[in-house]
Each structure stands twice: as C-alpha cells, then as structure tokens.
Structure 1
C-alpha cells in the first residue's frame, strides 16, 4: 500500500506538470493509478480532492487571466449536472463510461500527427452560446468519473483564449464544481480514510507541480501547447481504456480461448452465462456458435457452469447457410 501511494504521488506530480503545458488532463492520467489503489466508485472522490487543490493553486497564480464571462456561463448548469453524475455513479460501474471516454480521447491522435496549422486568433461567434451546454456535459461526466480534463479543451481554443487564459479559466470553472462534488461524495459515503489519503497525495503532487508552472509556461509556444494537449489526451485515452478493459473483464469473468486441433481452429469468447465461438472445420465449413450456460452444483458442493442451449450458424460451400440447435441434456451422476 505504501509503494502504491508513493507511485501515485510521483505519477500525479508528472501528470499535473504535463497538465500545466497542455491545459488539463492530469485527472485522466491519474485515474488508472487510483483505480489500482481504491474501489472503482471511490476513485472520483479522491481525484476531486486533489484537483480541487490544483485548481485553487492555479487561480492564485493566474487570477488576472481568468475570463469571468465564460465562468458565469459555464458553472450554473455544471453544478446540478455533477449531482446527476454522482447519483448515476451509485447505480452503474464507471468502468464502462471510462472505456468510452478513453476511446473518445484517442480521437486526438490525428491532431497529433497532422501538420500544425496557424494559431486561431479570432474566436468563434457561437462558442459562447454553447457554453452552458458544455458546462452541463462537463459537470455530468466529472461527477461520474471525477475528471474531465482535456475532453472540452477544444471549446476553449475555439473561443480564442491564450494558454494562460485557458489554464486560469478552466481552474475557475472547476474549483466550485470540485468543492461541491467533494461534499456530495461525502454525503453519499464515497470518501473513507484511504480515499482521503489518496486525495491528499494527489493534492500535494498538484501543489508541487503548480509551484514551477508560472515560471516556464510563458516560454511554450501556443502551437506546442495545443500539440502537447492532444498528445496527453491520447496517452490518457490509452490508459483509461486499458484500466477500464481490465475492470470490465474481471467483473464479467471474460475469457478468450484459442484451440487448434486436427483440421479445426476455434476462437471463443466466454463471459458470464454466454459462450460465443467461431470455428473453422477442415478449412471449408465455418461455424458460429452461441451457447447459454446454466449454473449447476458439482459433487463437492461448489457451483459450476454447464452448457444448456444455444444455436449454431453454419456456412458451408456444399450446403450453404443453415442453422442447427444446440441443446445438451442434463447428465445424471453414475450410480455408486
């Protein structure tokens, strides 16, 4: 456990330093590490404690760069939406949303690889109109996962904000949101001693990174600032998908099978009460089989899964397409 907290502190410090030059994303990078220490539904609470402290320090450093007209449009709908996200967190495992967010973040990969265009100087006229909607979406996702980070950074860029204004305005948008979330997480029983310790470790790492931020942020060109942001989003997306995929696999008892025997090759996916296999027989006939399994009791009293019923889809060059039922009768124990 001690090693886990040390690793959390180091990775959080690096993540918040990277966040300083990309306009956000530290939370999305830290989520997979927190997932190794805490229960899945406690990760957003610990992350909110740390990022609240980070936002406070950034407000203190860049107070003059805050665009208050954006804050006034962003925050009002973000707060009730965050409550909705926390309520949903109590009902659904966040691993599925984390996987989708990770997939969404991978969409930044083409932006990293393509040739950098000239920095945008003129803000989009309809950007301010959509800010309440962006705030609501950010609040809901933040309540469910604990972080939003780089998901909505593109909107800040479209508003024509400089990098210092993005850092400061995002911090002002986030601080009240995170404080309200911490209160709600406490009310819903999602903060215990270990969660609080993890949140404090993230908070200290954020302060260490923020102390050095103001000194070198102005040395980074705006185009590099954006490119680093897109790269951080890709890294965060890969990490989130990897952790979420592992959690989903464990929760649903997902297993993959590959069998090659005389003239037959089978690739199968086994999860919960389902067994789905694709089998190639004699390099000619293809079989796709879906079997439902029922729980049975073995002679030692432990539960076991046995094939029950299903169907087999056949694709044969001689017989064409056809479906046959699969049904296994209950076997009776041999007499003693």
Structure 2
C-alpha cells in the first residue's frame, strides 16, 4: 500500500505538470491509478481533494490572467449540478460513465483538430452564451467522476484565451466546485482515512508541479499548448476506458472461459447470472447456447450454483439452422 501511494505521488506530479501544459486533464490521467488503490465510489473524492489544492495554487500563481467574465457565467449553475452528480454517484457506479467519457475523449480528438479554424471564426458573444450550459454539464460530470479536465477544454480555446488565461480561468472555475464537492462527499459518507491519504498525495503532487510549471509555461508556444492538450485527451481517454472496462468486469462478474478437446472447442462468457457459450462440435456444426445461473444456500451447503434451462442455436451444414431447448444441471458445491 505504501508503494502504491508513492507511485500515486510520482504519477500525479507528472500528470499535473502535463495538465499545466495542456490546460487540464490531470484528474483523468490519475484516475486509473486511483482506481487500483480505492473503491470506485471513492475515486472522485480523492480526485476532488487533490484538484482543489491544484486549483488554489494556480489561482495564486496566475491570478492576473483570470478572465472573470467567464467565471461569472460558468460557476453559478455548475455548483447545483455538481450536487446532482454526487447524488447519482450514491446510486450508480461511475464505471459506465467513465467508459463513455473515455470513448468521447478518443473519438472527439480528430473532430477537434479539424474544426479548430472554423471555431475561431465564431462571434465571441455566441461563445459566452453557451458558458452556463457548459457549467451545468461540467459540474454534473465532475460531481459524478471527480474530474472533467480536458472534456471542455475546447470551449476555452474557442473563447480566444491565451494559455496562461486558460490555466488561470479553469482554476478559478474549478476551485469552488471542488470544495463544494468535498463537502458533499463528506456529508454523504464517502470519505475515509485511505481516501484522505490518497487525496493528500495528489494534492502535494499538484503543489509541486504548479511551482515547477510556473517557471517555464510562458516558454511554450500556443500551438504546442493545443497539441499537447489533444494528445493528453487521447491518453486520458484510453486510460479511462481500460479502468472502466476492468471495473465493469469486476462489478458484473464477467469471466471468459476457453476449453478444447479432440474434435470440440468451446468459448463461454459469464456475466452476473448469464452464460453465453459458443461450441464447435465438429468442423461443420456450431452451437450457441444461452443459460441462466442460479445460487442456492442451505444449512449444509454454503453455495450451490447450477445452470437452469436455456436455448441452443445450432448451425450445421448437414441439418441447417434449428433451435433446441435444454435443461442442464451443473452443480458446484462447497461444504
């Protein structure tokens, strides 16, 4: 566990340094590692603690670059929508949403690269009009996952902000949002000692990286700032999808089985009480079977699992396509 927190500090320092260059995304990069140390519903809590400290440090370091017109349009509706995200976190695991957010980050990358010139031609008043809507979406997703980062970074670019203004304005938008989320997580009992330690490790890493990046952020060209942001979005998207896939597999008891004997091969996928199997009995016949698994608990047997009735789809070159029904009982008991 100690090694895990040390690794978390090192990765977080690098992630927040990259975040300063790309204008955000540290939370999305750190999220997969936090998922290995904490339960899924505590990952957003640790992220919020760390990113709140990161936002405070960036406000202090880049205070003069904050665009307050953006902050005043973003924050008011982001706070109540964050509450909605926290409430949803109490009832639904965030793994599925993390998967789709990761898919969005990867799939939206080519679109952001192609539309950059067209976006710069939009009237600035039209861009500011959408800021309250962006605040609502960002607050809700942040409350549910603990981080938003690069998801809405394109909107900051379309406002025509310089890189220092993006870093400072995002920090001003995020700091109150993260502090409110930490209070809500505490109220709903989502904070424990391990979560606090992980959050503090991320927070210290954020402070270290903020002071390092302050010294040379102004040396980075604006076009490189954008390119690093796009690259960080793709990396964060892949990491989120990998973590979310693992969490979904664990939560739904997803298992893949493979067996092969003379003249027969079977691949079976288990999830929850279902089993879907593909069996090749000969080179000319394929069986696709769906079955339901059940569990019984008795005084003498702690757990008993068996397959109830199901259907088999046969695909045969000799007999064609047909369906049969089966009642197969397979007992697995632990005394």
TM-score of the pair, normalised by structure 1: 0.91
Say if 2:306 and 2:329, in contact at 8 Å, map to a contact too: no
Structure 1 residues 38-78: Cα deviation after superposition (integer angstroms, max 9, x where no partner)? 22211111111110111111111222222222111111111
1-structure distance, mates of 2:50, 2:89:
19
Q: Which residue in 2 is equivalent to 1:135?
A: 135
Alignment of 1:179 with 2:183, yes or no, is no
Structure 1 residues 175-225: Cα deviation after superposition (integer angstroms, max 9, x where no partner)? 110111111111111122222221111111101000022221121122211
The DSSP-based 3-state class of the residue aligned with 2:289 is strand
Point out the more displaced range, 35-44 or 145-154.
35-44
Say if 2:305 and 2:330, in contact at 8 Å, map to a contact too: no
Q: Which residue in 1 is equivalent to 2:200?
A: 200
Say if 1:276 and 1:290, in contact at 8 Å, map to a contact too: yes
Aligned length: 331
Point out the more displaced range, 299-308 or 77-86.
299-308
Structure 1 residues 296-320: Cα deviation after superposition (integer angstroms, max 9, x where no partner)? 4589622132111111122233433
Task: Go from structure 1 to structure 2 and tell me whether the alpha carbon gap of 1:241 and 1:329 turns closer, same or farther (over 3 Å shift).
Answer: closer
Paired residues for 1:225-244 under 5 Å: 225-244=225-244
Say if 1:109 and 1:230, in contact at 8 Å, map to a contact too: yes
Structure 1, unaligned runs of 5 or more: none
Structure 1 stretches (4+) deviating beyond 4 angstroms?
114-125, 297-300
Q: Which residue in 1 is equivalent to 2:270?
A: 270
Task: Go from structure 1 to structure 2 and tell me whether the alpha carbon gap of 1:66 and 1:330 turns closer, same or farther (over 3 Å shift).
Answer: closer
Task: Go from structure 1 to structure 2 and tell me whether the alpha carbon gap of 1:329 and 1:61 turns closer, same or farther (over 3 Å shift).
Answer: closer
Alignment of 1:245 with 2:237, yes or no, is no
Q: Which residue in 1 is equivalent to 2:151?
A: 151
What displacement does 1:134 show? 1.2
2-structure distance, mates of 1:172, 1:252:
39
Alignment of 1:320 with 2:320, yes or no, is yes
1-structure distance, mates of 2:34, 2:243:
10
The DSSP-based 3-state class of the residue aligned with 1:90 is helix
Task: Go from structure 1 to structure 2 and tell me whether the alpha carbon gap of 1:115 and 1:158 turns closer, same or farther (over 3 Å shift).
Answer: closer
